[in-house]
Amino acid sequence: MAPPLSRRSVLRAAALAAATPAPAQAAVGTAAAAGGASAVPAAWTAVPFGLGDVSLGAGLFADKRELMLGHARGYDIDRLLQVFRANAGLPTGDAVAPGGWEGLDGEANGNLRGHYTGHFLTMLAQALASTGERVFAERIGTAVGALTEVRAALRADPVVRSVPGRFGGAVENGRGSHQYVDLPAGVLGGASAITLAAWVKPVHDDAWARVLDFGDDITRYLYLATRTANGVPRFAVTTGGAGAEQGIDGTAALPLDRWSHLAVTVADGTGTLYVDGTAVGRNTAMTLTPAALGTLAHHWLGRSHYPADPVLAGALGGFDVWSRALDPAEVAALGAAGPADTPAGRGDLVSYAFDETGGSRIADASGRGLTATLRRTWGGPSHPGFLAAYPETQFIELESMTGSDYTRVWAPYYTAHKILRGLLDAHAATGDARALDLASGMGDWMHARLSALPSATLQRMWGIFSSGEFGGVVEAVCDLHAVTGDPRHLELARLFDLDRLIDACAADVDTLDGLHANQHIPIFTGLVRLYDATGERRYLTAARNFWGMVVPGRVYANGGTSTGEFWKAAGVIAGTIGPTTAETCCAYNMLKLSRALFLHEQNPAYMDYYERTLYNQVLGSKRDLADAEKPLVTYFIGLGPGHARDFTPKQGTTCCEGTGMESATKYQDSVYFARPDGSALYVNLYSPSTLRWAATGVTLTQTTGYPREQGSTLTFGGADAAFELRLRVPGWAGAGFRVTVNGRAVPGSPTPGSYFGVSRTWRAGDVVRVDVPFLLRVERTLDDPSLQALFHGPVHLVARGSATEYPRFGLYRFAALSGDLLPGFSPVPGRPLHLSLDGTEFAPFYEGTTDPSHAYFRRAEPVVVFGGLDSGVANPARADGTSLLDEVWSAAPFATGAALVARVRSTVTAWVSAGLLTAADGEKVVATAERATYQP
């Protein structure tokens, strides 16, 4: 472990919590880290603390974080930078691009590559702010330095990368660089007989990568490919497109990472293909010659006229063209020496030795002066601020797309957002001006592109599934504007308005059914920030209403949302459960939105949801295993019966693994909030932690084993200060929520789902004890009350087991007067929060294991039982599924056993009158309730 940075260095990151200002009376925030001025938004009625102001104590969160910090310390950051360097034509060394979405061979050919680096930068920034470890600052510096070099290279013409060739030099074009050699017109010289020869060293088995392609389009051309779909080299010439090609195929694949000599001769109706001096294919019916093609528009080495074909990845070590067909002996000699040292001599039409060690020009040694130029297939950026790990073509193509095709264009502005966000966080954490310069440049570039487009084009773009997804770019751009003050950046943020969605939500019209969940959730966090910057109420109203459309109607027991990445109709929970529920990114973004809304109105429901999702889905999405190579985070968490979590989804490096890295390094970001004037401190989460409230000089330390402990102890230190301590009373809390100060009970009747305030002048040594009684309870799915989830306090308990059907349990038989179902379960020795029922073990959802489990179970209460006594009476039910026992226990808690019996008697009377229960059976039920013994 690297030594910690000084406290002064860490304070640079005080505003890092979601890149929003930290609380203080003075101006603080990301702009402060840059030396600028940025006040707390006037609309905020609560302000957060920076990650550096809140340190985690020993416990569940610290243990989970340490697993991710090991990944942050150990992963080779040059692997992440590989795709950026390759795109810019820079050397990548021995770095191997990450798999999955970050590599060229992953899903959709890596069209999302670069996003993961942004996530990683944010993780490093948060880790630095939280721990002060120097290694994280060093890694940020490495990444920012490399990205600065990448942007500079993208701005300039591509430069020859010289490597040793088979004889002399060679030019290398790395995979992903999109570089090729552009030859001038006249290369073929109108010859009717010809020989083309090249040394080539391919590094990837791409089909249809070209050694050369001379032509006008996909109708008239000649080409030499390193391998066809069948894996062999091919030469072809045509004036009528692919169907009219006259070709020659080789017999074996060219080896990778090894030099091969290719030659083609065409004369007198016969074409011959040579590999390493040996003829491997012949066509004696070739009526077409270069002369028949006439004047061609393009002469390319390494690039195809078919846009979908890959650019040649590897090296070219010499290219020559002769205006005659060399004989077999001459061709064979070319495989043993450079052309100048063979009987054939250098090509008389063109001869490139590729001995250049820099620049973009490649000399012709034929004597004809046909100097070639190294180019990119996509030219160059439209603006000097462009920064990406792939060409700007995805952004350009999106502007004319009318439908989704992520194999062509996959959320380029989403990727831009992640990179921008990572750079902003890097700047806030370290003060590195280069990071802010890169971020500002990206903002300038996006503004230059998007501000030139008609509003109708923007609306169409942002409405396209997947391809038009832009993630949290609005939030990031608003944060950029808060630092730079550049009005173009605020204008840019508004260019992402998807009006039909904003207007519907502002009018409280639910149009979410069928929408891609994670494409839309972060939009609303951005709208909250836009409201802060503009005061336009429509934005905040839309975000608040949207939150209410998701919670609770589209939320599963663990706090997750979406099925197969999409939303269904509100209230359909049981009907959407399957193997692809609860996408991890959705949870991450719903927490960000809940937090953003809390800054404007301190509705306890936001933090009830936050606690549910943090303690269950977010913690449970991280595997409890150290791994420097992988973050080990779920993509989906299937909530169907017997699901085992997949912590290495989709080959790695997905959006969810990225947000999982971020979540695991900011667990403390919503434990405490303060009023802007310092008159109140909110304690939202009962988590072992220490707050350093700089504006007041107060420190507050929470000591707790929560959620294994049902409460927390808060100890004050530092300066004296008068303010109200506002303690969240969870919505699930049972009777008995109690607060003491220095051992004396604070009077009042705390209400679940509210805040309990304690006002006084706090002094060092004051001790507040909060007791939060947990009940073991169930939550019913909205569309099927018999399908239920089990909770102990905030913790969702899952039944371990690999069965593919929902298990069935009855729970009322030993229920306590409080309504607590715990008496019917047995604790598992040595395993906190593990319970056993009828041979089935229940475990906390937050445990990151691969054990198959059941997030839901089927409730089965076939007979009426009280206190373990069986009445012998079947448990009747109404048409809506509500049983007699459900109605009895819905009135819990009961002060005494007599109160419970009275409830039983009144319920039985009503059910008998309704014809749902016979009088005789009713008497048995009441008698059983009277005889039973109950726990409090």
Please list the helix, strand and coil fractions of the chain in percent, rounded to the nearest 5, in that order: 30, 20, 45
Q: At what angle do helices 473-484 and 487-494 cross, to 10 degrees?
A: 170
Picking from 432, 342, 452, 498, the residue whose alpha carbon sits closest to that of residue 143 is 432
What are the C-alpha distances in Å from 243 to residues 219, 238, 250, 271, 299? 9, 9, 19, 18, 21
Domain count, the chain: 4
Domain identity same for 194 and 244: yes
CATH number for position 677: 2.60.40.1180
Alpha carbon distance 357, 354 (integer Å): 8
The predicted pLDDT at position 39 comes to 75
Residue 633's contacts (CB-CB under 8 Å, 6 or more residues apart) are: 584, 621, 622, 623, 647, 656, 657, 660, 661, 664
Residue 78's contacts (CB-CB under 8 Å, 6 or more residues apart) are: 92, 93, 95
Q: Do residues 808 and 767 make contact, with C-beta atoms less than 8 angstroms apart?
A: no
Q: Does 160 reside within a domain?
A: no
| Confidence class for position 215, pLDDT limits 50, 70, 90 | very high
Domain identity same for 127 and 275: no
Tokens of 443: 């903002």
| Confidence class for position 436, pLDDT limits 50, 70, 90 | very high
Q: Do residues 424 and 30 make contact, with C-beta atoms less than 8 angstroms apart?
A: yes
Q: Write down which residue in 348, 376, 404 finishes a domain.
A: 376
pLDDT in tens, 890-936: 999 999 999 999 999 999 999 999 999 999 999 999 999 999 999 99
Mean pLDDT of the chain: 94
The predicted pLDDT at position 28 comes to 27
Q: Does 850 reside within a domain?
A: no
DSSP one-letter code for 643: B
In sequence order, what are the beta bridge partners of 340?
A: none
H/E element holding 586?
A: helix 584-598
pLDDT in tens, 121-142: 999 999 999 999 999 999 999 9
Q: Write down which residue in 346, 376, 406 finishes a domain.
A: 376
- Parallel, antiparallel or unpaired: strands 721-729 and 680-683: parallel
Cβ atoms < 10 Å from Cβ of 494: 15
CATH number for position 439: 1.50.10
Alpha carbon distance 731, 107 (integer Å): 42
What are the C-alpha distances in Å from 312 to residues 104, 106, 180, 447, 705? 13, 18, 8, 33, 58
The answer to whether the bond into 936 is cis (omega within 30° of 0) is no
Alpha carbon distance 855, 845 (integer Å): 8
Domain identity same for 315 and 206: yes
Cβ atoms < 10 Å from Cβ of 548: 14
The answer to whether the bond into 707 is cis (omega within 30° of 0) is yes
764 has a pLDDT exceeding 60: yes
Domain identity same for 309 and 429: no
Picking from 207, 203, 311, the residue whose alpha carbon sits closest to that of residue 256 is 203
Give SS3 for 255. coil
The predicted pLDDT at position 18 comes to 38
Q: Does 92 reside within a domain?
A: yes
DSSP one-letter code for 556: -
The predicted pLDDT at position 893 comes to 94
Domain identity same for 127 and 231: no
The HSE-up count of residue 715 (CA atoms within 13 Å, CB side) is 8
What are the C-alpha distances in Å from 871 to residues 669, 819, 922? 52, 19, 10
Position 306, amino acid: Y
Domain identity same for 427 and 517: yes
| Confidence class for position 358, pLDDT limits 50, 70, 90 | very high
Tokens of 14: 């005080």
The predicted pLDDT at position 535 comes to 97
788 has a pLDDT exceeding 70: yes
| Confidence class for position 335, pLDDT limits 50, 70, 90 | very high
What single string gives the DSSP state of each residue in 823-856?
GGSEEPTTSTT-EEETTEEEEETT------EES-
Domain identity same for 654 and 689: no
808 has a pLDDT exceeding 90: yes
How would you classify residue 200: left for phi > 0, otherwise alpha for psi between -120 and 50, otherwise beta? beta
Domain identity same for 15 and 72: yes
Q: Does 831 reside within a domain?
A: no
The predicted pLDDT at position 30 comes to 33
- Enter the pTM of the model: 0.94
Phi, psi of 745 (to 5 degrees): -65, 140
Phi, psi of 110 (to 5 degrees): 70, 30
Sheet of 711-718, strands arranged across? 54-56, 689-693, 698-703, 711-718, 767-771, 738-741, 744-745
704 has a pLDDT exceeding 60: yes
The predicted pLDDT at position 106 comes to 86
Tokens of 830: 């040595």
Give SS3 for 6. coil
What single string gives the DSSP state of each residue in 173-211?
E-TT--EEEEPPTTSSTT-SSEEEEEEEEE-S--TT-EE
634 has a pLDDT exceeding 70: yes
Q: Do residues 657 and 4 make contact, with C-beta atoms less than 8 angstroms apart?
A: no
Domain identity same for 449 and 582: yes
Alpha carbon distance 710, 471 (integer Å): 38
Q: Does 843 reside within a domain?
A: no
The predicted pLDDT at position 735 comes to 84
Picking from 452, 548, 461, the residue whose alpha carbon sits closest to that of residue 492 is 452
* pLDDT, mean of residues 849-871: 97
Residue 570's contacts (CB-CB under 8 Å, 6 or more residues apart) are: 510, 512, 513, 549, 553, 554
Phi, psi of 527 (to 5 degrees): -65, -35
What single string gives the DSSP state of each residue in 655-693?
HHHHHHHHHTT-TTTTSEEE-TTSSEEEE----SEEEEE
Rg for the chain, CA atoms, rounded: 34
pLDDT in tens, 246-304: 999 999 999 999 999 999 999 999 999 999 999 999 999 999 999 999 999 999 999 99
In sequence order, what are the beta bridge partners of 827?
A: 835
Picking from 752, 691, 775, the residue whose alpha carbon sits closest to that of residue 725 is 691
The predicted pLDDT at position 3 comes to 38
Domain identity same for 243 and 346: yes
659 has a pLDDT exceeding 90: yes
Q: Does 456 reside within a domain?
A: yes
Q: Does 787 reside within a domain?
A: no
Picking from 847, 850, 402, 836, the residue whose alpha carbon sits closest to that of residue 616 is 847
Residue with the two structure tokens 């070219």: 316
Domain identity same for 137 and 212: no
The predicted pLDDT at position 936 comes to 93
Q: Write down which residue in 376, 406, 432 finishes a domain.
A: 376
Tokens of 670: 């919503």
| Confidence class for position 359, pLDDT limits 50, 70, 90 | very high
DSSP one-letter code for 31: H
Range of the domain at 875: 861-936
2 has a pLDDT exceeding 50: no
* pLDDT, mean of residues 93-100: 91
Q: Does 157 reside within a domain?
A: no
Position 574, amino acid: A
* pLDDT, mean of residues 368-396: 97
597 has a pLDDT exceeding 50: yes
Tokens of 1: 């472990």
Give SS3 for 599. coil
> Interior CA angle at 367 toward 362 and 373, to 5°?
20
Annotate 80-92 with three-state secondary structure. HHHHHHHHCCCCC
The HSE-up count of residue 381 (CA atoms within 13 Å, CB side) is 24
Domain identity same for 223 and 356: yes
Position 807, amino acid: P
The answer to whether the bond into 552 is cis (omega within 30° of 0) is yes
